[in-house]
Structure 1
């Protein structure tokens, strides 16, 4: 039990989630791990660990969003709202949503995030594609491509997905389905 307490207290995520009090975070970790340790079924353990990971990721994302300026947070919100728009670009956001100079926004985005807008958008789209493929078996790869802004070019989506994950979307989908069974 001392090792578990050590791991919980010295977990690097504690440094990242400053908005949550350490006692609340410790309580969350302890409760989540207790559920996992009390479970006999391997599938339940997998599900519990995935849920724990997702919840901690959400806390991390919420707290990380606070470190960016208002305009960069607005860009993140607009990307999330308009992810299916194939015309989603920094230029489009600057002209239609944020009403600021595109070059200034691009420099500010790179300065604060360490990535160009295009790199971030591609990463966001690929992560969203993996989520969609993982969450449902009913979506075709072309539907996933459309939902993340590759409506006009599913072949390009497949190439980008393979470059990002090392697998084609179909292979990724098959592996996920096999894992879920």
Structure 2
């Protein structure tokens, strides 16, 4: 999950890896614990919150210890940026990111997308700006907006009109 740490010019966006302890669905003025398995896609926009046990990073890049930080606070899934796979190294009692470099790059990119966009004055995130730009590109390259290919009949008619204009231009004036 991505979080803003610090304030003012010292503020920066970071990610925390966590394991869901409880999942809640907000309903009117209360929240109800959800115990059935859910697909990740079901969680967004559905008023869900999670209470997590967090992994704490170690000095070794991509390596974490579990449950060092306790946190009973429920967090909205607005902070959620993605799933990761961690493998337990029994010898060191540490969790290592599977495909470490690939996942670290993905986490950094996802965290960056949660930062406020300078273009919108902080009203939108960088991710929202990127999605809007992608939607504009799709709209601008829509098939119905592209010029249609010229068929054989159209090309022959165009060539015939061009030949007639050229012949008329060469005809002597009377």
Q: TM-score range by the shorter chain?
A: under 0.3
The structure where strand makes up a greater share of residues is 2
Instruction: Give the number of the structure whose residues are more often helix, by fraction.
Output: 1
Quick check: which has more Rg, 1 or 2?
A: 2
Normalising by structure 2, report the TM-score.
Answer: 0.26
TM-score after normalising by structure 1? 0.25
